[in-house]
A and B are shown apart, each in its own frame.
Chain A
Amino acid sequence: QQQVKQSPQSLIVQKGGISIINCAYENTAFDYFPWYQQFPGKGPALLIAIRPDVSEKKEGRFTISFNKSAKQFSLHIMDSQPGDSATYFCAARNTGFQKLVFGTGTRLLVSP
């Protein structure tokens, strides 16, 4: 129930294309869903986050889509750039427990 399943494991997208990473969860008590971006040798950086009372949140080229009934959420990177090449982690948290549960990560490569 505490798992967050993430796919795909790796993704190659051409420059200018759309990168899509998907996550699914089981625990309906989760009420906060962040995405983190991690470059090699660095700690994860908070990219964008959503709460289940909205279906979509957009910040620049990054959009989270949230489907509460399906218990799924996804990250869309529009106009993907080589500088977006990194590992992306979705996560979920039950605010009452304050602990983040992380997905397994997606390694994104944006080819020039």
Chain B
Amino acid sequence: SAVISQKPSRDICQRGTSLTIQCQVDSQVTMMFWYRQQPGQSLTLIATANQGSEATYESGFVIDKFPISRPNLTFSTLTVSNMSPEDSSIYLCSVAQGANEQFFGPGTRLTVL
């Protein structure tokens, strides 16, 4: 399975600032995904990021708030912009490998004060 790392692992940020989360994979993958998991809740897909094309956002998520970059087949970033306390959550990077399997990174725990 793919080995996925995320940076930072956690952060505490002030309201109104932005945070960029990095996701690095140890092998080339076509599809990368960004999820949000609020405390004690399930996973919600923010967007799908394919290399060489614009990210595809899910309903309720917009590019201005969550810009995504996908410069190559092993790396992606998610920025949480103009943060508010409601953005406090765990942000997870995920990759699809093979026909079906999807693996997750360890997550970035964000607290917005």
Contacts and interface: CB of A to CB of B under 8 A. Distances in A.
A46 B101 contact: yes
A77 to B, nearest CB: 20
B48 to A, nearest CB: 7
Nearest to B45: A99
A55 interface: no
Contacts of A42: 106-107
A34 B99 CA distance: 13
Nearest to A33: B100
Contacts of B92: 43-44
A81 B42 CA distance: 24
B106 A104 contact: no
Given A95-B100, A98-B31, A46 B1 contact: yes
Query: Which range contains the number of A residues in contact with the other chain?
Result: 20 to 34
A29 interface: no
B105 interface: yes
Interface string A26-38: 0000001010100
B103 interface: yes
Interface in B1-41: 1, 4, 31, 33, 41
A98 B107 contact: no
Contact of A105 (B1, B42, B48, B104): B42
Contact of B45 (A34, A100, A104, A105): A100
Contacts of B100: 32, 34, 49, 51, 93, 95
B104 A99 contact: no
30 contacts: A32-B100, A34-B100, A34-B101, A34-B102, A36-B104, A42-B106, A42-B107, A43-B4, A43-B92, A43-B104, A43-B107, A44-B43, A44-B92, A44-B104, A46-B102, A46-B103, A49-B100, A49-B101, A89-B43, A98-B31, A98-B48, A98-B96, A99-B48, A100-B43, A100-B45, A100-B102, A102-B42, A102-B43, A105-B41, A105-B42
